[in-house]
Structure 1
Amino acid sequence: MELSSNLTLEIFNQPFLLEKRIDLLIAVKRTGSISKAAKEVPMSYKAAWEAIESMNNLSTTPIVQRETGGVGGGGTTLTPYGENLIATFEILRNEQKKFLKNLSQITDINTGTLKTIRRLSMQISARNQISGTVELIEYGKINAEVFIKLKSGYTLVSVITKTAVNNLNLKLGDEVVAIFKSSTVLITTDISLNISARNKFQGTIDSVNQDEINTELIIDIGNSDKIASVITTGSFDRLKMKKGTQVSAIIKASDVIIGK
């Protein structure tokens, strides 16, 4: 038995984005006409117009705009904000489908119980959780190397078992999260250093938090991707680092686990 649910986003306790309204916006973008879009959804022209008015009124930025005149006699278009809303809603809808699919798999309808439901809300203590897209999977006899493209442009490599790849049903293009502990991240100021570790990311120290024993560094590697590293304060002082210092963050591929 499968679980299903409609997705609704609210503003000020008022329905803002509903699946049918998103379908309407998509149709408006395609047809350039509220009346044509209403027929495609389908809904009455009055209901379509009221839905668009409601979204525009609740939003601080217009979603749909009317254009008059011109060779074609004007029409209706989405604003850049409206197009971004469609893309965002699709991401949320896909994540909701994944959640419901997982929930269906751990639900025993016959007994009315949920098996291992706590996994769905589990928090992870590892400081580093960086999202990316699977761009390559190379299989060995036992393990597999998973190459993950990050927002920063870097590729992060994780070595996990082939069984784990199959259990996660990993495929090219999947969005995943690379997880690794801050204590496994090595730091060097020699950015030209050659090392056997598969993952080496150049970046800038964004912030420093230290006590007498340990120092936590946050390394900005670009495009909002940041890596946390905890090293000894003695090592931090010896390397003469400070906020703004250019460093390389080094992580062994075997220290990176993958979440999906």
Structure 2
Amino acid sequence: MDVQTKFDTYIGSDGVALDARDVALLQAIDSNGSLNAAADDLGRSYGHSQRRIVELEEAFGSLVERQRGGTNGGGSTLTETAEKLLAQFERAQTGFKGVAEITENVLTGTITERDGELATVETTAGLLRALIPQDSDGEVELMLRADAVTVNDPADVPLPENTSARNRFNGTIVDIEDGERIHRIAVDINADDPLAVIITEDSREKLGLAEGSEVVVSFKATAIRGIPV
């Protein structure tokens, strides 16, 4: 099993996940005043949108209050539960983006080989491949975002020919910084500093991650920005 740290925000309940697409539907209902108009506005099927609202309500409770006919022609409004759910989603999304943007790994190394912009760099963790401007030579600093790293169970690592992640390192989790749904783990790969990786709570549970867990981390050459020292 492998876990990509790039993921979409969602809120789960009873096996149902409310994601950005569902949020767009609820927001469209709120702004258009009806499910039918919301579906038209989003270019979606009314029947499918209605079924999705039913699924969400079975998991989260009443989300849309429907009014029939009358002098005002009826319509739909969001319930207090829906408003709270939208606010919770926004907080979760903002929290992830904030963590992802400020969490960047810095590795140092020396270019040993080059094929155009694709360079092989020797680091304390081992050789890795990175895209580095052709006018750069010698020592370089490599920047790698924590949300661009994939975490694998050592017993279930994809074969090299089945993945585009050219850089792969064995490591040990040395620290876990817990959040509500997003965790930042530090993986010792024998670099100068532990590698920071962002994972979701679901991913942590699926892989059974804890301090001391052995993992394999991998990332694409295109995920690294290299600059000369």
TM-score with structure 1 length normalisation? 0.45
Report the Cα offset of residue 196 of structure 1: 2.7
Residue type matched to 1:157 in 2?
A: R
- Given the superposition, is the C-alpha separation of residues 251 and 223 from structure 1 closer, same or farther in structure 2, using an over 3 Å criterion? closer
Determine the structure 1 residue equivalent to 2:141: 177
Structure 1: gaps spanning 5 or more residues: 1-123
Please give the residue correspondences for 1:1-260 in structure 2 after superposition, counting only pairs within 5 Å: 125-139=102-116, 144-152=117-125, 154-160=126-132, 164-166=133-135, 170-171=136-137, 174-190=138-154, 192-194=157-159, 195-222=163-190, 224-260=192-228
The answer to whether the 8 A contact 1:134-1:147 is kept is yes
Change (3 A) 1:232 1:205: same
Q: Match of 2:118, as an amino acid?
A: E
Query: Relative contact order: is structure 1 or structure 2 higher (C-alpha 8 Å, sep ≥ 6)?
Result: 2
Provide the secondary structure at the position in 2 that maps to 1:183: helix
Report the 3-state secondary structure (helix = DSSP H, G, I; strand = E; otherwise coil) of the residue aligned with 2:169: strand
Q: What SS does structure 1 have at the residue aligned with 2:119?
A: strand
What's 1:24 paired with? none
The residue type equivalent to 1:220 in the other structure is: D
CA distance in 1, matches of 2:193, 2:158: 22
- State the SS of the aligned residue for 1:244: coil
Q: Percent identity?
A: 23
Give the CA RMSD over aligned residues.
1.8
Q: Encode CA deviations 1:73-121: one digit per residue, 9 max, x unaligned.
A: xxxxxxxxxxxxxxxxxxxxxxxxxxxxxxxxxxxxxxxxxxxxxxxxx
Q: Given that residues 182 and 229 in structure 1 are in contact (C-alpha distance below 8 angstroms), is that contact kept between their aligned partners in structure 2? A: yes
- 8 Å contact from structure 1 (residues 151, 225) kept in 2: no
SS at match of 2:209: coil
Q: Partner amino acid for 1:244? A: G
Unaligned runs of 5+ in 2: 1-100
Mapped to 1, the partners of 2:221 and 2:207 lie a distance apart of 25
Residue 41 of structure 2 is matched in structure 1 by none
For 1:179 and 1:248, locate their aligned partners in 2 and report how far apart those are by CA, in whole Å. Answer: 19
- Runs (4+) of structure 1 exceeding 6 A deviation are none
CA contact (8 A) 1:126 1:179 kept: no
CA displacement at 1:225 relative to structure 2: 4.1
Distance (whole Å) between structure 2 residues aligned to residue 131 and residue 226 of structure 1: 13
TM-score (norm. length: structure 2): 0.51
Distance in 2 between residues matched to 1:209 and 1:125, nearest whole Å: 14
Distance, in Å, in 2 between the alignment partners of 1:225 and 1:135 is 22
Do the aligned partners of residues 180 and 223 (structure 1) sit closer, same or farther apart at CA in structure 2, a change above 3 Å counting? closer
Deviations 1:126-163 (A, max 9, x none): 52001111111112xxxx211111112x1111124xxx
- Aligned pairs, how many? 124
User: Aligned to 1:254, what secondary structure does the other structure show?
Assistant: helix
Q: Output the CA distance in 1 between the equivalents of 2:130 and 2:103.
A: 15
